[in-house]
């Protein structure tokens, strides 16, 4: 029997605890050797909840632990790039929540450190591991729907995040649409050009914080296909997550998930309940599957399914979307590659 992969985790907030639960309850081939957090009380609470024996006083101490083979970075976004560099230099394999950073130069420095160290890096775009999205990808890859012509992604949150979060998140294109940029690439390949139309239609305070709350982004793919991403910070009926790929021989479409599959019908209406209301409910299985994939790659030595480049390109797309919105014009991604 192969020895257990020894893991360390930094960031014991909401996502960190989801990964802790997956590892401790579902992945016998891995073991949590230590956790840490800038909030040591939060780290202690997580350690107690999941039976983790060691709480490192800080991230540097976690990396200095020779038992640890790999780290999971679930800390604040502005720490990700630096934490990746430190982990790589310490010889640890890395799982990092998206995004690596909002700045492309920081991302490049992190990826260079990973390459120089020869360690593995996986970025946490969990929606790739959703069973519905994978089935659509399979329909595209197998030719079931012919040549893809159109992509439509609908991604609408039930309510806006707190303003304190919006002020440091980088904006909607970076903290929300970035998932959809990755999904567009996952399903149809590389995007060459995009145009973002956006506004503040939900809460003026979001605009005062320098962000938008409503957007439609059109995408041109290298294949010739065309796509749209439809985002809103507030869908009053719940978490709206739908994807469609239309092709020359058919269409593959996924709908929202519901708490139950019951439809109630009477003489005046046909009724069912609202969709699942939060991303932690809608995508919990995909979070579990992505960590299982990360551990499996560590065990087998296979390449990671979501690479550092997969983490970089959606940030490039978000940067292009921000420029498109600000300048009210389509932006080719290669424009950003030539910027000084």
pLDDT tens digits for range 202-254? 999 999 999 999 999 999 999 999 999 999 999 999 999 999 999 999 999 99
What average pLDDT does the structure give for the chain?
95
- CB 1: neighbour CB atoms within 10 A? 5
Spatial separation of the C-alpha atoms in residues 100 and 311, rounded to whole Å: 7
Distance (Å, whole) CA 118 – CA 116: 6
For 73-94, the DSSP string reads E-S-GGGHHHHHHHHHHTT-EE
- Edge to edge, the sheet with strand 121-124 lists 30-36, 5-10, 70-73, 93-97, 121-124
- Cβ-contact 153, 128 below 8 angstroms: no
Using an 8 Å Cβ cutoff, are 86 and 60 in contact?
Answer: yes
Predicted pLDDT at 35: 98
- Range with the lowest mean pLDDT among 37-51, 63-77, 135-149, 269-283? 269-283
Query: Which part of the chain has CATH 3.30.360.10?
Result: 128-285+314-337
Residues 134-152 have pLDDT tens digits of 999 999 999 999 999 999 9
- Where does the pLDDT of residue 337 fall: very low under 50, low under 70, confident under 90, or very high at 90 and above? confident
Q: Are 8 and 54 in contact (CB under 8 A)?
A: no
Using 50, 70 and 90 to split pLDDT, how confident is the model at 339?
low
What value does the CA radius of gyration of the chain take, rounded to a whole number of Å? 21
Q: What is the CATH number of domain 128-285+314-337?
A: 3.30.360.10
What is the pLDDT confidence band of residue 70, given thresholds at 50, 70 and 90?
very high
Mean pLDDT in residue range 251-260: 94
Distance from C-alpha of 214 to C-alpha of 205, rounded to nearest angstrom:
13
Q: What pLDDT was estimated at residue 169? A: 80
Between 93 and 170, the higher pLDDT residue: 93
Q: What pLDDT shows up at residue 281?
A: 85
In degrees and rounded to multiples of 5, residue 95 shows phi and psi of -110, 130
From CA 29, how far away is CA 9, in angstroms rounded? 16
Per-residue burial over 49-82, b = 16 or more CB atoms within 10 Å of its CB, e = otherwise: ebebebbbeebeebbebeebbbbbbbbebebbbb
Per-residue pLDDT reduced to its tens digit, 282-292: 899 999 999 99
**pLDDT for residue 3:** 74
For residue 99, whether the previous peptide bond is cis, meaning omega lies within 30 degrees of 0, is yes
Whether the pLDDT of residue 340 is over 50: the answer is no
Pairing of strands 264-265, 148-156: unpaired
Domain with CATH 3.40.50.720 in the chain: 5-119
Cα separation, 154 vs 242, whole angstroms: 5
Q: What are the start-end ranges of the E strands in the chain?
A: 5-10, 30-36, 70-73, 93-97, 121-124, 148-156, 191-199, 214-221, 226-232, 240-247, 250-254, 264-265, 270-271, 331-332
Fold exhibited by the domain 5-119: Rossmann fold (3.40.50)
Chain centroid, CA 27 distance in Å: 21
């Amino acid at each position: 029997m192969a020895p257990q992969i020894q893991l360390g985790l930094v960031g014991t907030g909401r996502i960190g605890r989801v990964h802790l639960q997956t590892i401790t309850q579902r992945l016998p081939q891995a073991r949590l050797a230590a956790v840490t957090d800038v909030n040591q009380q939060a780290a202690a609470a997580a350690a107690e909840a999941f039976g983790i024996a060691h709480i490192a006083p800080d991230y540097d101490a976690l990396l200095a632990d020779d038992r640890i083979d790999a780290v999971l970075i679930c800390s604040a976004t502005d720490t990700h790039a630096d934490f990746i560099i430190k982990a790589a230099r310490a010889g640890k394999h890395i799982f990092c929540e998206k995004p690596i950073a909002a700045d492309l130069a920081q991302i490049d420095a992190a990826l260079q450190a990973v390459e120089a160290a020869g360690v593995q890096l996986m970025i946490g775009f969990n929606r790739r591991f959703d069973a519905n999205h994978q089935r659509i990808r399979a329909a595209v890859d197998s030719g079931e729907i012919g040549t893809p012509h159109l992509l439509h992604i609908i991604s609408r949150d039930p309510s806006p995040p707190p303003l304190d979060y919006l002020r440091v998140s980088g904006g909607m294109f970076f903290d929300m649409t970035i998932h959809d940029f990755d999904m567009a690439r996952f399903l149809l390949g590389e995007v060459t050009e995009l145009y973002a139309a956006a506004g503040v239609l939900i809460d003026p305070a979001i605009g005062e914080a320098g962000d938008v709350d409503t957007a439609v982004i059109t995408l041109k793919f290298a294949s010739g296909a065309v796509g749209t991403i439809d985002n809103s910070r507030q869908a009053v009926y719940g978490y709206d997550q739908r994807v469609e790929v239309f092709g020359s021989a058919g269409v593959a479409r996924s709908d929202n998930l519901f708490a139950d599959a019951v439809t109630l019908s009477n003489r005046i209406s046909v009724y069912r309940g609202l969709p699942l209301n939060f991303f932690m409910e809608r995508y919990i299985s995909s979070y579990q599957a992505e960590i299982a994939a990360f551990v499996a790659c560590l065990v087998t030595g296979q390449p990671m399914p979501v690479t550092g480049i997969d983490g970089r390109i959606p940030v490039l797309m978000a940067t292009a979307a921000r420029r498109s919105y600000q300048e009210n014009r389509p932006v080719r991604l290669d424009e950003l590659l030539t910027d000084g």
